[in-house]
Amino acid sequence: MIVVLSLGGSVLMGEGFNAERVREFAEVIERISENHRVFVVVGGGRIAREYINAARELGADETYCDYMGIEVTRLNAMLLAGAIKKAPKFIPHDFKSALELSCNHDVVVMGGTFPGHTTDATSALLAEFAGADILLNATSVDGVYSDDPKKSRDAIKYDKLTFKQLVDIVSGKETSAGVSNVLDLLAAKIIERSKIKTVIFLGTPENIERAVRGEEIGTVVFG
């Protein structure tokens, strides 16, 4: 299988630097890559948000803030790639370079690409371009809810969604730099147009392996 894993920055890094945590993700990714071709797109997490908030406060425009966020995703990608022996130590900045690298490497790690969206969309675009069989979105919530589960006790978790339902749920939410939603709208639309089977789940190393094995975790989007 061709697997694209979107690894949220907060999932990989936690609240700060935790080398042991990064090592655990690296080990799982190495294991998966023994049987599958793997692309990992790493997010920016708390550090990206802090840079973006500070730059915004200093008067930077949203595109500039996005570029700052992208730099942090690439730094995080470097950290993970440094822990995966067989990953190239070069972080591609675009999808063509990522695909080229994957000809000689079982695992390719990258960060963001261009302004205007988050690494959810980057990973959806990469999944489309690489002809991925599955897109795994390892995030900080255990699936897609009808409402923000941290704010509403009535929020319902969806185990399964169609592509159209995903777009309907995600649309209408904020998309300014650094804003964190379960998935960004562009990602949902790319997933819908290319019908990429997607699993959105709580990002732990064990859950990544379970998702690859096809176990029913989080929210599965298909059909």
- Where does this chain bind ligand UTP (CB under 6 A)? 8-10, 43-45, 48-49, 52, 65-66, 69-70, 73, 112-119, 122, 139, 177-178, 180
Which residue number places its CB atom closest to ligand UTP?
69
Q: How near is the Cβ of 35 to ligand UTP at its closest, in Å?
A: 27
For residues 29 and 148, give the distance between their C-alpha atoms in angstroms, rounded to a whole number.
Answer: 30
Token digits of residue 183? 């998935």
Please say which residue, 69 or 205, places its beta carbon nearer to ligand UTP: 69
Q: Please state the closest distance from residue 190 (CB atom) to ligand UTP, in A.
A: 12
**Closer to ligand UTP at the Cβ: 130 or 177?**
177
Q: Which is nearer to ligand UTP, 28 or 186 (CB)?
A: 186
CB 68 within 8 A of CB 33: no
**H helical segments located in the chain:** 9-13, 19-32, 45-57, 62-83, 95-102, 119-130, 163-170, 185-194, 205-213
Q: Please, which residue, 60 or 106, has the CB nearer to ligand UTP?
A: 60
- Minimum Å gap between C-beta 116 and ligand UTP is 6
CB proximity list for 122: less than 8 A, separation 6 or greater: 6, 41, 110, 111, 112, 113
Closest CB to ligand UTP among 78 and 86?
78
**Helix, coil or strand: residue 48:** helix
Give every CB contact of residue 24 below 8 A, 6+ residues apart in sequence. 205
Smallest separation (angstroms) from ligand UTP to the CB of 20: 19
Whole-angstrom distance, CA of residue 4 vs CA of residue 123 = 7
Task: Give least dist CB 176 to ligand UTP, A.
Answer: 8
